[in-house]
Amino acid sequence: MNTAQDNRFQAIISHAKEYGFVFPSSEIYDGLSAVYDYGPYGSELKKNIRDYWWKSMTQMHDNIVGIDAAIFMHPTTWKASGHIDNFSDPMIDNKDSKKRYRVDHLIEEHAAKLKEEGKEDLAENILQEMEMLDAKSDFTGLKKLIDDNKMVCSVSNTTNWTDIRQFNLMFKTEFGAIASDNPEDNIVYLRPETAQGIFVNFLNVQKTARLKIPFGIAQTGKAFRNEIVARQFIFRMREFEQMEMQFFIRPGTQKEWYEHWKAERLKWHLSLGIPAEKYRYHNHTKLAHYADAALDIEYDFPIGFKEVEGIHSRTDFDLSNHQKYSGKKLTYFDTEINQHYIPYVIETSIGLDRMFLLILSHSYDEETITKEDGSKDSRVVMHIPEKIAPIKLAVLPLVKKDGLPDIARDIIKDCRPYFKCFYEEKDAIGRRYRRQDAIGTPYCVTVDHQTKEDNTVTLRHRDSMQQSRIHIKEIKDKLFQSLNL
């Protein structure tokens, strides 16, 4: 990340806090690392993104239904899914500073430093070598790479490293108060992905919703990962929310459905009006334990191109393993071909918080404006896609007297059942417009003395700042049309 990108990222983080989008969790106690709370406008925006995704899945497809599974699951779930054995990152500690690093991050940071020093070739060689080593098992090779290149800890500046060890990312807790000689008996995990709640309910859903393959099950909800290096604001969190959809298909058709969902999901992103050049696909060369093909949809964040969503061809790995560990049959009878089989699965998995960061990154703008008299002014404006903006309409009486507040409140009363409105009468009108720009409100209506004469108001658009005079009766329709509600 260069200085300009870093400055922009820091400005977005400050803005998110100052304008009630995101706060550090339990801030009065100095916060909790990589855990965040969403404020008044953040929680609205987050809900709107979630709803937009949910609608695109469960309302726009006859063959996709939703569920809401519990966060706690039977512990054997995680044995069957492979998370107990495989969901870990190699890590290394510096003995002097006691700072813990994810091995790939330590190596990448070292390579980035070399690049800054102009040693591009050496940096590329190190990264290539890391790519070629098996990051999950070749700890000797990775340790040698760190030692040979004299990689230092950023705190102690020494090369005094421990051996590399695996670190499981699942949080454990105790369940119930069952007396047992073996403390392991009471252990449950906080789910690290929502997907398993879908897999274990596969037959319940298929039967009760009378679904035929191909069909999908969608879910949104919290997931938890004890990330070793959790930083970069809400990009990598320890408690976060996922929006996942498992699409169950006939074995042998996975390639075509993988291509289908790859295209569909990018279309969803673009439907929010975000430019296509800000996105790219990244195919995985090293696959997760459950996948036979996988790619990321990456977005050009201020911290560089990074994953926002994953599309995974998960084969029949999860259902087969749940069948094996539970002893319950999880096959489907396909009446078209007269065959029983365990379905294959294409998964689309997007982080809600990461999508939220994407929207902040796309929207944040520091604009210089030329006023009518030629003088310069500036504003911070959030160009949040209108249909997911936290507030859709602010209604502002020009002054707090002469009956203007009453008219403004009547407008709010009329519009509020249909979209989120905001009323404000304090401060000069220009300052009120700026505050709405800063939280991304697409429309402001100003009630003035002329309103009393002819029932018209001024409608101001956030992005163009253009104003037009419309009749009070037209406000609702104008917003319906423009927001595509």
Nearer to ligand GAP, 309 or 437 (CB): 309
Pick one of 57, 237, 291, 311: the residue that binds ligand GAP (CB under 6 A): 237
Rg of the Cα atoms in the chain: 26
What string of H, E and C letters represents the secondary structure of 381-397?
EECCCHHHCCCCEEEEE
- Residue closest to 224 by CA, chosen among 239, 234, 236: 239
* Shortest distance in whole angstroms from residue 258 CB to ligand GAP: 14
* Contacts of 21 by beta carbon, 8 Å cutoff, 6+ apart: 15, 38, 39, 41, 42, 45, 360, 439
The three-point CA angle 136-166-104 to 5° equals 55
45-104 residues in contact with ligand GAP (CB under 6 A) are none
Whole-Å CA distances, 443 to 269, 357, 405, 440: 23, 23, 18, 9
d(CA 390, CA 479): 14
Contact 371, 355 (CB under 8 A): no
Residue nearest to ligand GAP according to CB distances in the complex: 351
- Please state, as a whole number, how many other Cβ atoms lie within 10 Å of the Cβ of residue 311: 27
146-205 residues in contact with ligand GAP (CB under 6 A) are 193, 195
Binding mask 380-419 for ligand GAP (x = CB under 6 A): ----------------------------------------
- Count residues binding ligand GAP (CB under 6 A): 19
Binding mask 284-313 for ligand GAP (x = CB under 6 A): -----------------------xxxx---
> Identity (one letter) of the amino acid at 284?
H
Nearer to ligand GAP, 297 or 398 (CB): 297
* Shortest distance in whole angstroms from residue 219 CB to ligand GAP: 10
Nearer to ligand GAP, 39 or 221 (CB): 221
Instruction: Indicate whether 349 belongs to the interface with ligand GAP (CB under 6 A).
Output: yes
Instruction: Indicate whether 350 belongs to the interface with ligand GAP (CB under 6 A).
Output: yes
Instruction: Indicate whether 244 belongs to the interface with ligand GAP (CB under 6 A).
Output: yes
Pick one of 240, 301, 364, 443: the residue that binds ligand GAP (CB under 6 A): 240
Structural tokens at position 344 = 């294959």
* Shortest distance in whole angstroms from residue 82 CB to ligand GAP: 12
d(CA 35, CA 222): 12
* Shortest distance in whole angstroms from residue 44 CB to ligand GAP: 20
Nearer to ligand GAP, 46 or 236 (CB): 236
* Shortest distance in whole angstroms from residue 307 CB to ligand GAP: 5
Contact 303, 1 (CB under 8 A): yes
Pick one of 48, 81, 206, 242: the residue that binds ligand GAP (CB under 6 A): 242
Helix axes 352-363, 3-18, angle to 10 degrees: 110
d(CA 229, CA 84): 20
Name the segment binding ligand GAP (CB under 6 A); options: 35-43, 73-81, 239-247, 440-448: 239-247
* Residue with the two structure tokens 């509600």: 485
Whole-Å CA distances, 331 to 226, 244, 308, 357, 421: 34, 22, 32, 39, 49
* Shortest distance in whole angstroms from residue 236 CB to ligand GAP: 4
Cis peptide preceding 302, ω within 30 of 0:
no
* Shortest distance in whole angstroms from residue 357 CB to ligand GAP: 9
Nearer to ligand GAP, 352 or 396 (CB): 352
* Shortest distance in whole angstroms from residue 59 CB to ligand GAP: 22
Pick one of 96, 138, 227, 402: the residue that binds ligand GAP (CB under 6 A): 227
* Shortest distance in whole angstroms from residue 470 CB to ligand GAP: 41
- Please state, as a whole number, how many other Cβ atoms lie within 10 Å of the Cβ of residue 203: 14
Residues that bind ligand GAP (CB under 6 A): 193, 195, 225, 227, 236-237, 240, 242, 244, 307-310, 347, 349-351, 353-354
